Amino acid sequence: MMRFEKIVSGIVIVSALLVALSACQKQEGPAERAGKEVDKATEKVGQQIEKAGQNIQDAAKGDKK
């Protein structure tokens, strides 16, 4: 029984810590939101550049789609 009580108390303590840590999470500010939007835009541009490069390679090989 002593082992079971230790396991249960350990689970309760870990759960309480997780709840406390999730409550301390900082809210995003406008700069962080803007940074995320810049990251998304950069990712899209990179994908378009890769697509254009692939199209150039295909055209050089004579593979037209």
Distance CA 27, CA 46 (A): 29
**CA separation for the pair 17, 11 (Å, rounded):** 10
Task: Please determine, for residue 20, whether its predicted confidence score (pLDDT) is greater than 60.
Answer: yes
Contacts of 40 (CB under 8 A, 6+ apart): none
Instruction: Output the pLDDT for position 38.
Output: 94
Q: Determine the average pLDDT of the residues in 10-27.
A: 80
Q: What's the average model confidence in pLDDT over 19-23?
A: 75
* pLDDT at residue 23 greater than cutoff 90: no
The span from the CA of 45 to the CA of 52, in Å, is 10
Each residue's pLDDT tens digit, 28-51: 788 989 999 999 999 999 999 999
Global pTM reads 0.49
